[in-house]
Structure 1
């Protein structure tokens, strides 16, 4: 139980430190081939392996992740944990007909 409290306290300190960083001068990166006017996810690399992430359509809302959190996300994405289910297609919709 004491270990859980200690771990929670450490994670809270890490989060507080991460969100107290001034990131006004970071360089934002997005996937190659995306245009400035397109909606895209942008990331910035922060000290100690941390990462900031935002949407190009809402650049004022920035999420920040520790190195461990970001690593877990990337590994999960590579393993398919976040794959979207194929959208149900309406056979009556002409866009879904085979040509």
Structure 2
């Protein structure tokens, strides 16, 4: 069973999130390295090249912050 990482204040519900049946979606027409899935009110993100590796799970507020920062270039590699 694929499970999530232990990030955030949501605690136990996030730790026990079962991602084995998640509907993973790729961005950019499937050309990206990142996939996301919406599961039980959370947003999971994983590396498409290593789908069995641990996923990072966000609650909606954390996801919004992550996306806004990514759009602003906060994670750009220089």
- TM-score by length of structure 1 reads 0.60
The size of the alignment, in residue pairs, is 70
Bigger Cα Rg: 1
Residue 46 of structure 2 is aligned to residue 54 of structure 1: yes
Seen in structure 2, the aligned counterparts of structure 1 residues 79 and 32 have a Cα distance that, compared at 3 Å, is closer
Give runs of aligned pairs for residues 1-99 of structure 1, distance below 5 A: 11=9, 14-34=10-30, 40-48=33-41, 50-60=42-52, 61-85=54-78
Deviation at 1:32, TM superposition (A): 3.2
Q: Extract unaligned runs of 5+ from structure 1.
A: 1-9, 86-99
Q: Extract unaligned runs of 5+ from structure 2.
A: 1-7
Give the structure with the larger helix fraction: 1
What do you get for the CA RMSD once the two structures are aligned?
Answer: 2.0
Q: Deviation above 4 Å: which 4+ runs of structure 1?
A: none
Give, in whole Å, the separation in 2 of the partners of 1:46 and 1:73.
Answer: 17
Query: Which fold has the larger relative contact order, with Cα–Cα distance below 8 Å and residues 6 or more apart in sequence?
Result: 2
Deviation at 1:31, TM superposition (A): 1.4
- TM-score by length of structure 2 reads 0.73
